């Protein structure tokens, strides 16, 4: 009955793997902005705090670009995930399944800031930007669901494996933004409008299943109820299947020469999509084709019986549709304290009302330390707790130097290095970098 097991595994993977692949692909910002959100004098910070649009010691014009990539999960460490030519060996599979005791959340993605331009106009600063991003999330309600993906249904012979909490989502966006910043001696205010083009989207409205394999492996029963929505992939600059807008708002106040507090609400908006809805209510009893049935019944009748059993799985209901989703909103509270002329501490609290990309309803509490080692070179370290990967430790470096009439700023770092340097304890990883030019 190996063929039955192969068919069953393939059908299950067809439903579940789309979200998982989007998470574990190698991708090319900062994950939470634990460090960069406090670099208020540099252009990258305004992504996390719009009030920093007005910051910077440049004369009239600033250009910045950058990128980030990240992934994480709530339960298992990353050791062995990316070794062995992309295949997960049996020892790693066993460890993964041992570490997952209940549900598991996974997330990953990237953002590429292609261009961010700031222009000073009197007492105001205008900001314009273009970026592209891809975010993916998955929630698996039962550990045995991941076991089916990793091992197939053979190890679960004699058992029923079920899950009614599956949720998958991935979105790729192209975003244009325009913002405005203002400041006086102690207060900074900023706002930004973002227009999103939806390049592609896939998500599950519902995915529920129950799979039984008898102890001899001769019979398989699958009950599933699912509904998925998705678009195609639009490559052209003016081609898209989704359109939306969101608003970012921020404020920062200097309490004293040593202390500053800031708040921000980012991504307050809505996306509308159009594409296809695929759904099915599946009940499949597969007992194989026995020699006895071939002798007693005609071959066409036997084949027709099996086709009737599988047709709801192979040929789901498909219809054109449209749907709407909120954009990935998040709320930030920051506090910065100067320890000395060259050193400072930064505290960050992030919260999101729902899962979207790196943001989850689990708050993120971050602590960052930054020190100017020599003129122009600043190094930093950070730690955080919460979020999609539950904890992380990272590092950051910025360097600014004068090159003729312009100042060049370089940025490199990671909010979470554990998955890269210590995968035996790290559940996530990230990396970011950027280039800025001030005129």
User: From CA 346, how far away is CA 35, in angstroms rounded?
Assistant: 8
Which pair of structure tokens corresponds to residue 233? 């992939």
Q: Is the pLDDT of residue 16 over 60?
A: no
pLDDT for residue 83: 67
pLDDT for residue 74: 87
In the chain, the largest separation of any two C-alpha atoms, in whole Å, equals 92
Residue indicated by tokens 């222009």: 119
pLDDT for residue 149: 82
pLDDT band at 234 (very low <50, low <70, confident <90, very high): low
Residue indicated by tokens 């609290």: 349
Residue indicated by tokens 């700031």: 118
DSSP string, 204-262: EEEEEEEEEE-TTS--EEEEEEEEEEE-----STT--SEEEEEEEEEEEEE-SSSEEEE
Coil/strand/helix, residue 312: helix
User: From CA 194, how far away is CA 60, in angstroms rounded?
Assistant: 23
User: From CA 211, how far away is CA 13, in angstroms rounded?
Assistant: 13
Q: Give the number of other CB atoms < 10 A from CB of residue 202.
A: 18
User: From CA 344, how far away is CA 40, in angstroms rounded?
Assistant: 12
Q: Is the pLDDT of residue 8 over 50?
A: no
Query: Mean per-residue pLDDT for 81-90?
Result: 72
pLDDT for residue 308: 58
Phi, psi of 364 (to 5 degrees): -115, 125
pLDDT band at 45 (very low <50, low <70, confident <90, very high): very high
Return the domain boundaries, the chain: 2-438
Phi, psi of 382 (to 5 degrees): -150, 160
Nearest to 128 by CA among 115, 110, 138: 115
pTM of the model: 0.83
Burial 228-244 (b: 16+ CB within 10 A, else e): bbbbeebeeeeebbbeb
User: From CA 194, how far away is CA 201, in angstroms rounded?
Assistant: 18
Which pair of structure tokens corresponds to residue 145? 């669901």
DSSP string, 44-80: GGGGT-GGGGG--S-SSEEEEEEEEEEEEESS---TT
Q: Is the pLDDT of residue 31 over 70?
A: no
H-helix or E-strand containing 187?
A: strand 187-213
Query: Which of 282-285's residues contact partners 24+ apart within 8 Å by CB, and which partners?
Result: 282/222, 282/223, 282/224, 282/225, 282/226, 282/312, 282/313, 283/222, 283/223, 283/312, 284/220, 284/221, 284/222, 284/309, 284/310, 284/312, 284/313, 285/219, 285/220, 285/221, 285/309
CATH class of 2-438: mainly beta
Q: Is the pLDDT of residue 194 over 90?
A: yes
Q: How far is CA 100 from the centre of its chain?
A: 20
Mean pLDDT taken over the chain: 84
pLDDT tens sequence across 259-303 = 999 999 999 999 999 999 999 888 877 765 554 444 455 545 545
DSSP string, 88-104: PPHHHHHHHHHH--S-E
pLDDT for residue 334: 96
- Dihedral in degrees, nearest 10, Cα atoms 71, 75, 79, 83: -60
User: From CA 189, how far away is CA 224, in angstroms rounded?
Assistant: 51
Q: Is the pLDDT of residue 318 over 50?
A: yes
In residues, how long is the chain? Answer: 439
Which stretches does DSSP call E strand in 74-186? Answer: 104-121, 124-140, 159-163, 167-183
User: From CA 92, how far away is CA 96, in angstroms rounded?
Assistant: 6
Query: Mean per-residue pLDDT for 331-353?
Result: 94
| Least trusted range by pLDDT, from 29-33, 47-51, 382-386 | 29-33
């Amino acid at each position: 009955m190996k063929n039955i097991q192969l068919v069953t595994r393939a059908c299950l993977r067809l439903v579940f793997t789309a979200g998982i692949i989007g998470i574990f692909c190698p991708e090319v910002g900062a994950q939470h902005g634990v460090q960069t959100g406090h670099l208020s004098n540099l252009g990258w910070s305004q992504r996390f705090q719009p009030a920093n649009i007005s910051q910077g010691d440049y004369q009239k014009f600033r250009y910045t670009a950058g990128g980030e990539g990240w992934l994480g999960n709530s339960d298992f460490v990353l050791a062995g995930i990316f070794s062995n030519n992309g295949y997960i060996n049996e020892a790693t599979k066993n460890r993964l399944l041992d570490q997952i005791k209940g549900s598991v959340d996974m997330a990953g993605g990237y953002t590429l800031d292609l261009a961010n331009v700031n222009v000073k106009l009197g007492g105001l600063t205008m900001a314009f930007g273009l970026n592209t991003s891809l975010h993916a999330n998955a929630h698996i309600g039962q550990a045995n669901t991941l076991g089916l993906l990793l091992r197939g249904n053979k190890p679960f012979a004699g058992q029923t494996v079920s899950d009614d909490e599956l949720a998958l989502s991935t979105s790729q966006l192209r975003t244009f933004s325009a913002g405005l910043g203002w400041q006086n001696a102690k207060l900074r205010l900023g706002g930004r409008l973002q227009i999103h083009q939806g390049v592609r989207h896939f998500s599950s409205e519902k995915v529920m299943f129950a799979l039984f394999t008898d102890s001899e492996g001769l019979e398989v029963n699958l009950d599933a109820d699912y509904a998925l929505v998705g678009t195609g992939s639009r490559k052209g600059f003016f081609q898209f299947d989704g359109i939306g807008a969101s608003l970012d708002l921020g404020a920062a106040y200097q309490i004293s020469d040593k202390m500053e507090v800031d708040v921000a609400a980012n991504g307050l908006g809505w996306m509308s999509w159009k594409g296809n809805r695929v759904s099915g209510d599946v009940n499949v009893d597969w007992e194989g084709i026995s020699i006895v049935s071939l002798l007693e019944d005609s071959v066409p009748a036997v084949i027709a019986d099996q086709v009737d059993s599988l047709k709801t799985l192979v040929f789901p209901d498909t219809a054109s549709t449209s749907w709407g989703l909120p954009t990935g909103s998040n709320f930030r509270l920051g506090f910065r304290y100067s320890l000395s002329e060259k050193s400072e501490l930064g505290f960050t609290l992030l919260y999101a009302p729902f899962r979207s990309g790196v943001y989850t309803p689990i708050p993120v509490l971050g602590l960052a330390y930054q020190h100017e080692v020599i003129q122009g070179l600043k190094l930093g370290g950070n730690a955080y707790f919460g979020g999609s990967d539950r904890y992380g430790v990272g590092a950051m470096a910025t360097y600014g130097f004068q090159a003729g009439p312009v100042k060049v700023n370089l940025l490199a770092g990671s909010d979470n290095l554990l998955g890269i340097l210590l995968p035996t304890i790290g559940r996530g990883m990230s990396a970011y970098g950027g280039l800025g030019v001030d005129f």
